[in-house]
Structure 1
Amino acid sequence: MQEFKNKVVVISGALGDIGLSIASRYLESGAIVVLGDQLQADAASVKLLQLDSYQEKFEYKQLDVSDYRQVETWISEVEDRYGKIDCCIANAARVTIKNFRTLSPEEWSLEMRVNVDGAFYFANFAAQSMVRKAVGGNIIFLGSWAAHAVHENIPAYSVSKAAVRMINQTMALEYAHFGIRVNEIAPGYVNAGLSKTVWSELPEQKVVSQKKVPLNKIMEAEAVAVQVLWLTSHQCQHVTGSTFLMDGGLSLLRP
């Protein structure tokens, strides 16, 4: 997509499978990508090898999204260096696999700080930059099917993603006046992150998970990246405040 040539894209949680796939897609389309994640530069360099052919078009900057001061500085530095921000992908998240009976207050708090506060800080500071520079722009939240159906083993994650869904809608309404579109993508089972690790060690669990999906498919991170680019493209110029479920029908099921 030539429309992304020299557009400035910021991505949080950028070193995970989904984040890297999104970064790769934008780089292939000619964008300048600034990746943010918790890892220090030395540790991040291994993961960034897959983007090596685009070295002059991307930059990695360490980022803890739960610290609003750090996020504000991070966004400000990107704006100063590149002059603007065109697309913001709020992807950073964590998940704790515990039910309410075993979940500690500290675990609950950390999940909310990263998944809710972090998503808000990253998107809102980016949106404020877009307003300052009058560039319009796009914001994408990475949500989850878990916000649309009860899942007793990941309650903190489900609640946090339900909050992100409302942040998406409210932010879309406010920033529409500035020509900024805000949308959410809510994947189902993706062969990425923690799921990928578990399934590689216990392939039978992947079979079990796949059978739960009405379409009987597990998606790859690349599928999410394709949807992100489409949603931030001119083809979707009239779309804002929407949540796009990519869950193969998972959220249609009830416990």
Structure 2
Amino acid sequence: MELAGKVAIVTGGASGIGLATAKAFLKKGAKVVIADFNDEGGKQAEQQLKQGDVEVVFVHVDVASETSVEQLVATTVEHYGRVDIMINNAGVGVLGVTHELTYEDYHKVISVNQDGVFFGAKHAIKNMLKNGDGGVIINTSSILGSVGEGGAFAYNATKGAVNLMTKSLALQYAEHKIRVNAVAPGYVESGMVSKEALGDFYDALVDRHPVGRLGQPEEIAHAMVFLVENEFVTGTTLMVDGGYTAQ
């Protein structure tokens, strides 16, 4: 698929992997909707990216709310006429031992990471089916959808679910030329995953990656672009993890 002129929604698009993905898509000529719960960050991202002849707009969304996601898709269609690419990237995590995890904390992770993928896929697919010429959905998974991590019970559960949701959707909609894939990043440099924020634990994370460093958001965005452009790939979870899961 050529990205030029295509309409892409990126949830969690105000920062990190989402923002890098929005930039990568704009560079390829796509029209981008930055969707995020963080209004201030989303508006700043919109202004940052609105340079030259690109088409980008920020839309508020709470991916844990089906009504909000449905409205996001409707606003995108109203603004750009259609949805060609849906990047279900928004996510949260809660760390801690499972026997101390509250249901509220557990359910928050489920509602954002898992329900958010369901809502995003559901309403994007509705528009893609109406258009009749296919589309692409990419879900942001994680290495922790394939390997366990002590203290990340809820996050492990949701990302494992995302991997199988991806396969199921790919099989259901292949005949409609709708491809569904996932990207599973290793640990990626961000505000919360940095030497400053993590101290000595940062070095321990680096040591887990055979390439000897953490990932960069732009490297994950590059994988997103690949999965949109390569029309023979569907139903896969692409590991972009510096060798983490090869061990």
The bucket for the TM-score relative to the shorter chain is over 0.9
How far apart, CA to CA, are the structure 2 residues paired with 1:33 and 1:43?
16
Q: Which residue of 1 aligns with 2:242?
A: 248
1:220 to 2:219 alignment: no
The CA deviation at 1:56 is 5.0
Q: In the alignment, is the contact (CA less than 8 A) between 2:185 and 2:241 conserved in 1?
A: yes
Q: In the alignment, is the contact (CA less than 8 A) between 1:141 and 1:183 conserved in 2?
A: yes
How far apart, CA to CA, are the structure 2 residues paired with 1:193 and 1:85?
30
Amino acid at match of 1:242: T
Q: 2:130 aligns to what SS in structure 1?
A: helix
Q: 217, 228, 241: which one pairs with 1:232? A: 228
The CA deviation at 1:47 is 3.8
Q: In the alignment, is the contact (CA less than 8 A) between 1:27 and 1:33 conserved in 2?
A: yes
Amino acid at match of 2:32: V
Which aligned pairs between 1:179-218 and structure 2 lie closer than 5 A?
A: 179-196=177-194, 199-218=195-214
Q: Which residue of 1 aligns with 2:30?
A: 31
How far apart, CA to CA, are the structure 1 residues paired with 2:62 and 2:174?
28
The CA deviation at 1:53 is 1.2
Length, aligned pairs only: 247
Name the CA shift for 1:4/1:157 in 2 (closer, same or farther; >3 Å): same
Gaps of 5+ in 2: none
How far apart, CA to CA, are the structure 1 residues paired with 2:13 and 2:42?
10
Q: Which residue of 1 aligns with 2:152?
A: 154
Name the CA shift for 1:54/1:145 in 2 (closer, same or farther; >3 Å): farther
Name the CA shift for 1:244/1:86 in 2 (closer, same or farther; >3 Å): same
Q: In the alignment, is the contact (CA less than 8 A) between 2:16 and 2:217 conserved in 1?
A: yes
The CA deviation at 1:171 is 0.4
- CA deviations on 1:8-63 (whole Å, 9 max, x unpaired) are 000111112110000001111111000111022x4532344431315751000000
Which aligned pairs between 1:24-103 and structure 2 lie closer than 5 A?
A: 24-40=23-39, 42-53=40-51, 56-103=54-101
Q: In the alignment, is the contact (CA less than 8 A) between 2:50 and 2:56 conserved in 1?
A: no
How far apart, CA to CA, are the structure 2 residues paired with 1:120 and 1:54?
35
How far apart, CA to CA, are the structure 2 residues paired with 1:207 and 1:52?
36
Q: In the alignment, is the contact (CA less than 8 A) between 1:27 and 1:54 conserved in 2?
A: no
Q: 2:50 aligns to what SS in structure 1?
A: helix
How far apart, CA to CA, are the structure 2 residues paired with 1:132 and 1:49?
32
The CA deviation at 1:244 is 0.6
The CA deviation at 1:123 is 1.6
Q: In the alignment, is the contact (CA less than 8 A) between 1:98 and 1:153 conserved in 2?
A: yes
1:166 to 2:160 alignment: no
How far apart, CA to CA, are the structure 2 residues paired with 1:179 and 1:188?
29
Q: Which residue of 2 aligns with 1:135?
A: 133
Q: Which residue of 2 aligns with 1:13?
A: 12
Moved runs in structure 1, 4+ residues, more than 6 A? none
The CA deviation at 1:181 is 0.6
Amino acid at match of 1:220: Q
Name the CA shift for 1:150/1:4 in 2 (closer, same or farther; >3 Å): same
How far apart, CA to CA, are the structure 2 residues paired with 1:167 and 1:129?
19
Q: 107, 112, 115: which one pairs with 2:110? A: 112
Gaps of 5+ in 1: none
Q: Which residue of 2 aligns with 1:144?
A: 142
The alignment's C-alpha RMSD in Å is: 1.7
Q: In the alignment, is the contact (CA less than 8 A) between 2:189 and 2:216 conserved in 1?
A: yes
Q: TM-score normalized by structure 2?
A: 0.94
